[in-house]
Structure 1
Amino acid sequence: MRPFDARMLDVGDGHWIYVEEVGRRDGVPALFLHGGPGSGSQHLHRRLFDPERHHALLFDQRGAGRSHPYLSLQENTTQKLIADIEVIRTHFGIERWIVVGGSWGSTLAVAYAEAHPERVAALALRAVFLGTRREVEWAFVEGPKLFRPELYADFVGALPEAERADPLAAYLERLADPDPKVHRPAAEIWASYERALSELAPGQSRIAPSTGRSERLPPTPFVEGHYIRNDFFLQPDQLVREASKLRGIPGVIVQGRYDLLCPPHTAYALSEAWGNCRLEMLDRAGHAISEQGVMEALTRAIRELTDNA
């Protein structure tokens, strides 16, 4: 499916965001929120929507993808992204829409829905992440130690010995270093590590030593690091504590049983606090949308919510 229109929107603070429309302009409005933070919307994501039924909008968040300035961390916060979503909604004259998001996209979807519940007709979420420190510690340290110890050893072993006691802090500091000789290898290792953790059966289960000379710098680690250093600009347990605001919004959560980055207990906790949603657990899937059955289950969920919208 190709966009029938695309444009750059000025959202202020020096940021311009890329927004594309797929489906049909008179269709059921839907919004897709990509992960990362920093990864950008992909062609694959368009396939979640029915071109005959939906008016779907996909955009690249601040600093990501085709938005400008690229990789900018200035005025790049969760609250600013929520405001950007409202700019998009009002620009296109949409009253209410179905909001879809996975991983960090699920975080932003929940944060937006709690801020503007009257604008959300339904929520379709995948691989729930709620932006807490303990989730980050699990994803990058505790989980890999238990389930992918050889991968974790590679992640830690790429650091100088003096920095290995707290590898997460060391990588976050290196990603923020302005020197390319410092941040480039850190970004390459981080991206490889996260990619391997996102799949139930990764094609490459070890991390190759970084050369620091890749043609294209992986973008996600820099934006992701910025958000992690700032606790995703959320208060502790904010999204679960305020889940009562979601009670009037129907939803579906699609969750991989063996998701190491965003484990099932987080999706379960949200579903219990929310109450007005169905949790669909996929027993043979990890984190990525490309995992077995995930794309199909999320597409079905969107179709189901559209039928009831």
Structure 2
Amino acid sequence: MKRLYPDIGSYASGYVKTADDCELYYEQSGNPDGIPVLYLHGGPGAGLSPNYRRFFDANRYHIIAFEQRGCGRSRPFGSLEGNTTQNTLRDIETLRQKLNIERWVLFGGSWGATLALLAAIKNPQSTLGVIVRGVFLGREEDRKWYLEPCGGGAQLYPEHYEVFVEGIDEPLTVETICQNYQQQFDDKNEAVRLAALKRWYVWEERLSRLYLPPGTGDITTHYPLSLVTCLAKLECHYLLNRCFIEENYILNNIHKIAHIPGAIVHGRYDVICKTEAAWQLHKAWSQSDLHIVSGAGHSTSEGGIALKLCSATRDMSRALQGAL
């Protein structure tokens, strides 16, 4: 009789220790004998959402997820020390070796998509396939799109952008905005610190969906301090440091995974990550399928995005059945 693995939560969780003494929380769920898939959360700094497993058939997939440096249950919380893209890629490899995974599918959205692509490029021999959503390539134009006055968010939501950059002297560039916010995050006055953290968090939330539920994306709404702190500090840190990758690194190296199957899901009206980035990635990656979702923005909470991601994991599992 076939054993069923209903998606009712993790069957194993724990911590993996890095070479520089970080402790990264991870968990496993689904079918232990299924196709290994690594779920990479966004942000940087978002942590694992409670319902991330919904994109995978728990009978077909061995679902693995971890919280990146400084995030969620990983320790030390909110730390910027050693928090770089290169170290996170080493962490991914450390986790793969700890769990004795030979090859896996890499699945990520937004910053998680960046990491999935970088990890595949770094270790194509251990990559079965890649599924990305809300493509962020880490280029200068991608960072400007999110933070500068010429970007999608500032142009479509000028009233919210004014709140986001209030008190910051021109020119409003990625560098000046991030430097100003970092100073506020470190301010001795708690009220200044908390207000800055919340403004940054609300800016991202405001842009994440075309239609926000009541009470979200509102500066007056209460949000968990741990979530606000982690996402604001780490996003600012990575954007200020050009995401710790060379300009146009992903597109310049995508040929290294030309033979690996991929799926790209992107909302047509994503104002956090450029739809152009998804298009350029697809054109450079011959084995990729591109799904631009009409009537959707950036978030997986939008029905069209979630549906396409579920379809992508289903199709990937079918394609890989004969390869395992």
Contact 1:101 1:124 in 2 (8 A): yes
Over aligned residue pairs, what C-alpha RMSD do you find? 1.9
**What residue identity is the alignment partner of 1:253?**
I
1-structure distance, mates of 2:44, 2:242: 12
**Counterpart mapping for 1:113-262 below 5 A:** 113-141=120-148, 142-156=151-165, 159-160=166-167, 163-166=169-172, 168-177=174-183, 178-179=186-187, 180-203=190-213, 207-208=218-219, 216-217=225-226, 218=228, 219-262=230-273
One of 36, 53, 58 as aligned partner of 1:46: 53
Contact 2:205/2:216 (CA < 8 Å) preserved in 1?
Answer: no
Matching residue's letter, 1:105? G
Please give the per-residue CA displacement for 1:231-266, whole angstroms capped at 9, x wherever unaligned: 111000010111101101101101100000112110
Moved more, 261-270 or 215-224: 215-224
Match of 2:286 among 258, 265, 275: 275
- Counterpart selection for 1:304 from 308, 315, 320: 315
Residues 196, 205 of structure 1: 8 Å contact kept: yes
Cα–Cα, structure 1 residues 290 and 206, in superposed 2: closer, same or farther, change >3 Å? closer
- The structural deviation recorded for 1:136 is 1.3
Normalised TM-score (structure 2):
0.89
Shift of 1:140: 2.2
Alignment-mate amino acid for residue 47 of structure 1: R
| Contact 2:205 2:217 survives alignment (8 Å) | no
Q: Tell me how far 1:61 sits from its aligned partner.
A: 0.3
Q: In the alignment, which residue of structure 2 is the partner of 1:294?
A: 305
CA distance in 2, matches of 1:113, 1:58: 16
Equivalent residues of 1:176, 1:183 under 8 A apart: no
Counterparts of 1:26 and 1:267 in 2: how far apart (Å)?
32
Offset of residue 307 of structure 1: 0.9
Return the alpha-carbon distance in structure 2 between the equivalents of residues 98 and 111 of structure 1.
Answer: 13
Alignment of 1:30-69 (within 5 A): 30-69=37-76
Q: Distance in 2 between matches of 1:253 and 1:282?
A: 10
Q: Which runs of 5+ in 2 are unaligned?
A: 1-7
**Percent same amino acid at aligned positions?**
34
Q: 1:214 to 1:82 in 2, by over 3 A?
A: closer
Give the distance between the partners of 2:218 and 2:56, measured in 1 at CA: 35
